[in-house]
Amino acid sequence: MNAPVELLPRIAPRPLPAAMLEALKAHFGTRCSTARAVREQHGRDESPFDVPAPDAVVYATSNEDVVAVVALAQAHGVPVIPFGVGSSLEGHLLAVQGGVSIDLSRMNRVLHLHPEDLTVTVQAGVTRRQLNDALRHEGLFFPIDPGADATLGGMSATRASGTNAVRYGTMRENVLGLAVVTASGELVHTGTRARKSSAGYDLTRLFVGSEGTLGILTEITLRLYPLPEAVSAAVCHFPSIDAAVRSTIQIIQMGVPIARCELLDIHAVRAVNAHDHLGLREAPMLLMEFHGSPSGVQEQAETVQQIASDLGGEGFQWATTPEERTRLWTARHHAYFSALQTRPGCRAVTTDTCVPISRLAECINDTVAEVDASGIPYFIVGHVGDGNFHVGYLIDPTAPDERGTAERLNRQLVARALRLEGTCTGEHGIGLHKMGFLLDEAGANGVALMRQIKHALDPHNIMNPGKIFTW
């Protein structure tokens, strides 16, 4: 789908100087490609935007490689855009001003695993599944799960979260330190392996969520967690989405340390039933997971079951073996792609608002009423324990009316979330699509502060230009 022109920032590609390309080819040989297929693969993500591909792609295998590309880019005034697996949702890695895509997927080594300190340092191209495979025999895991098998570099750059964040926090809380190549082509290390520090400005958290606009993350030091002694998952069906949401609110307000608390609305449940023949009751559903000691898990589960029952929740199904849990979580993991298949040829425009937990029922109920009235097919899934949910508007990409309606609904939803003291993006980031929403949320003076930092750290605007805010 082409995004409506008015949604895209003004695109002003800078031509790639021949001298820069020659220098890249000389340095990287076959690891520098200008093949159309390679460039196009690095010029799209899961966003609906269609912009020209980058001028070249370099496959980095070391910090020194990244330093070399950035130093050349700085000398020639050429944009550089980091690329992991291309799973970003907001156009983060699109070459809106041309330039060089630096593919970090070959920087995929787990560098230093310290099970005794519950820390690990990985190269930016390691994906979360690869990391968890490397950790399993140590009895440890890294909980942040944004759905896609994204790289830890990409997850850090977008401040990702996902299903386990309600208990374990987001990338914000779980990145201890970074190696970053700055715009001047220097390798800087931020943070330490200590759990806390008051040593100067929090550069680590400035780079986490900066979407490649301040530097390229090449190594990430993360907090790990012991695999819980006991894990139990459950689904519960509710007479209304409101009842499901109100149960969630009470669970959080009671302080239950629930590990996952995911909502699927009736449309999402129908879609996964059709796709995976799961035979789930076609009603709004919460999917939950509890981590802890066996008795702790039981205690949490009993509290939650009581809350849900009081609000009309029924049909509790429990899963304690890994196989049973996988079956239940299939519903959540397949929701997006199952929903796409309910309307052949459609595309999803996805929202990402997050509000304080007490406002969640109001936010979702008003949104449902609005989208129901619009006639656009949709589904809702959400990390509701955090107050975060996604509406997927399933639009016909050839029908401009539908596209316009979806964007209007999105704007109304964001305005509602901001009014309820929430955010336009819980976990996807700003990228290209939400630059206007960021202005609404952070205010002109908040965005001006961000811009001052960008100008100071990247004075020639070569680091992933055209994202988050205008230059």
| Binding piece for a copy of itself, criterion CB under 8 A, among 35-43, 54-62, 327-335, 421-429 | 421-429
* Contact with a copy of itself (CB under 8 A) among 192, 240, 330, 374: 192
Beta carbons within 8 Å of 341's beta carbon, 6+ residues apart: 271, 274, 275
What residues numbered 282-341 form the site for a copy of itself, per CB under 8 A?
A: 293, 295-296, 299
The whole-angstrom separation of Cα 269 and Cα 280 is: 7
Confirm or reject binding of residue 190 to a copy of itself (CB under 8 A): yes
Closest approach, Cβ 208 to a copy of itself, in A, equals: 7
Interface positions, 339-358, toward a copy of itself (CB under 8 A): 352, 354-358
Q: Is the dihedral of CA 396, 272, 49, 446 positive or negative?
A: positive
Q: Which of 153, 174, 156 is nearest to 63 (CA)?
A: 153
Residue among 188 and 369 whose Cβ is closer to a copy of itself: 188
In sequence order, the 6+-apart residues with CB closer than 8 A to the CB of 328 are 233, 234, 235, 287, 317, 319
Contact set for a copy of itself, span 442-471 (CB under 8 A): 442-443, 445-447, 449-450, 452-453, 455-457, 468-469
> Which whole-number Å values give the CA distances from 193 to 187, 216, 441, in the listed order?
18, 20, 33
Shortest Å, Cβ 150 to a copy of itself: 13
Q: Which stretch binds a copy of itself (CB under 8 A): 99-107, 322-330, 374-382, 419-427?
A: 419-427
- Smaller CB distance to a copy of itself: residue 114 or 408? 114
Residue in 386, 381, 379, 247 with CA at minimum distance from that of residue 313: 247
Tokens of 85: 């697996």
Contact track, a copy of itself, 368-387, x by CB under 8 A = ------------------xx
Site for a copy of itself in 157-176 (CB under 8 A): 158-161, 165, 169-170, 172-173
Please tell me the count of residues contacting a copy of itself according to CB under 8 A.
88
Please, which residues bridge with residue 98 across strands?
Answer: 96
User: What are the backbone dihedrals phi and psi of residue 413, each rounded to the nearest 5 degrees, phi first?
Assistant: -65, -45
By residue count, the chain amounts to 471
* The two structure tokens encoding residue 75: 């000398």
| Smallest distance, a copy of itself to C-beta of residue 448, A | 8
Q: Is 255 in the site for a copy of itself (CB under 8 A)?
A: yes
Contacts with 170 (C-beta within 8 Å, 6 or more apart), sequence order: 144, 159, 160, 161, 427
Query: Hey, which residues between 206 and 245 contact a copy of itself (CB under 8 A)?
Result: 206, 208-210, 214, 225-226
Q: Of these, 98, 154, 426, 466, which contacts a copy of itself (CB under 8 A)? A: 426
Q: Is the dihedral of CA 51, 432, 349, 330 positive or negative?
A: positive
Stretch that binds a copy of itself, among 23-31, 38-46, 76-84, 417-425 (CB under 8 A): 417-425
Taking the complex as a whole, the smallest distance from the CB of residue 427 to a copy of itself amounts, in Å, to 5
Stretch that binds a copy of itself, among 201-209, 258-266, 269-277, 340-348 (CB under 8 A): 201-209
Torsion from C-alpha of 62, 63, 65, 67, nearest 10 degrees: 180
Contacting a copy of itself (CB under 8 A), which of 425, 462, 464, 465? 425
